[in-house]
Amino acid sequence: MARKVITLAEVRDGSLRNVSFEAIAAAKTIAEGGEVVAVLVGESVQSYANELIYYGADRVVVVENEKLKNYTSDGFSQALMAVIDAEKPEGIVFGHTALGKDLSPKIATKLNSGLISDVINVEEAGGNLVFTRPIYSGKAFEKKITTDEFIFVTVRPNNIPALERDESRTGNVSSLSVDIKDLRTIVKEIVRKTVEGVDLSEAKVIVAGGRGVKSAEGFEPLKELANVLGGAVGASRGACDAGYCDYSLQIGQTGKVVTPDLYIACGISGAIQHLAGMSNSKVIVAINKDPEANIFKVADYGIVGDLFEVVPLLAEEFKKLKVHS
């Protein structure tokens, strides 16, 4: 059944997030031949519209307003509801990002709709659209369907492949003017703490440290390796509890659940709660002094050794590889 689906595109640090393109791909599957309309919301975001077309959106609707400079659930929900009123979609796809997680339940409630969060796969099976999502932070998975006609999902970054970028795609870009009022929460300031790093949830490579890193300074070689690989640094709960790094870096059942292409675990023993957050990574490398460490059970490749020797050597080798290729 063809249905019209809208997606919310997200801009971060001056560029569209990959998950916005992945949401378009998911929307294409959900639309089953219907139209996919990408929505851009912000103070000045018109310039990103074409890129969304190149990634497969049939049309783009832009809502610009100075009150939408920073995300607030009140502001963005007014913008989205105006688009939904005008477009009357039968499906919605957001990224399962901080913004998507915060906004989607509000919109779903306004629409009196269900919401399937954190979807990693969309398929058509037996006449139904079936959505796969992790439960227990990836210790298990569930397949869900909606019992209403309306479909609303958020998609986890890095899981549903985006369409090939194609500059020959064309589509209409239109503006919708929305009066934004009564914002009950006001963003006074945003403090960037992730300037040097790549965002964990979207990183292709993650170098993570555990108790074996021993100190905050101990994370330096890991940062160096992550830099060489263009990746992000993460940590186990042990490392965060010990104060070696900020809780925002924590990976595990409490913390972030990640699925990068490459996960390098350094001095991490592999507690069940940590494994829940990373064991669905495509390739896992474990570096640990203890050959009996649990982490080796989920690792594709393991090196038994001192991370302070291995990690700098690895960084050197990857540098050489970069020079050669």
Partner 1 sequence: MNIFVLMKRTFDTEEKIVINNGQVSEDGAEFIINPYDEYAIEEAIQVRDQHGGEITVVTVGNEEAEKELRTALAMGCDKAVLINVEDDVEESDQYTTAKILAEYLKDKNPDLILAGNVAIDGGSGQVGPRVAELLGIPYVTTVTKLDIDGGKVTIVRDVEGDEEMIETSLPLLVTAQQGLNEPRYPSLPGIMKAKKKPLEELELDDLDLEEDDVKAKTKTIEIFLPPKKEAGRILQGELADQVKELVSLLHTEAKVV
N-terminal to C-terminal alpha carbon distance within the chain: 47
Annotate each residue in 55-74 with x if it binds partner 1 (CB under 8 A) or - if it does not, as one string: ---------------x--xx
Q: In b/e form, how buried is each residue of 232-250, taking b as 16+ CB within 10 angstroms?
A: bbbbbbbbbebebbeeebb
Length of the chain: 325
User: Is the C-alpha dihedral spanning 53, 104, 121, 98 positive or negative?
Assistant: positive
CA distance 49 to 174: 9
Residue 139, phi-psi category: left (phi > 0), alpha (psi -120 to 50), beta (remainder)? alpha
Nearer to partner 1, 172 or 185 (CB): 185
Among 78, 117, 159, 269, binds partner 1 (CB under 8 A): 117
Annotate each residue in 212-251 with x if it binds partner 1 (CB under 8 A) or - if it does not, as one string: -----------------x----------------xxxxx-
Of residues 266-295, which lie at the interface with partner 1 (CB under 8 A)? 271-273, 276, 279-280, 282-286, 291
The yes or no reply on residue 209 touching partner 1 (CB under 8 A) is no
CA distance 220 to 209: 10
Q: How many CA atoms lie within 13 A of 251 on its CB side?
A: 33
In the complex, minimum distance from the CB of residue 92 to partner 1, in angstroms, rounded to a whole number:
13
Nearer to partner 1, 59 or 237 (CB): 237
Burial class (CB in 10 A: 0-12, 13-18, 19+), 74: middle
Of residues 9-28, which lie at the interface with partner 1 (CB under 8 A)? none
CA distance 304 to 310: 9
The yes or no reply on residue 189 touching partner 1 (CB under 8 A) is yes
Annotate each residue in 118-157 with x if it binds partner 1 (CB under 8 A) or - if it does not, as one string: x-----------x--xxxxxxxxxxxxxxxx---------
Q: Where does this chain touch partner 1 (CB under 8 A) — which range of 24-32, 60-68, 197-205, 210-218?
A: 197-205
Q: In b/e form, how buried is each residue of 30-40, taking b as 16+ CB within 10 angstroms?
A: bbeebbbbbbb
Among 114, 162, 223, 227, binds partner 1 (CB under 8 A): 114
Of residues 88-107, which lie at the interface with partner 1 (CB under 8 A)? 97-99, 101-102, 104-106
Nearer to partner 1, 173 or 180 (CB): 180
The yes or no reply on residue 30 touching partner 1 (CB under 8 A) is no
Q: Where does this chain touch partner 1 (CB under 8 A) — which range of 24-32, 51-59, 213-221, 256-264?
A: 256-264
CA distance 201 to 35: 29
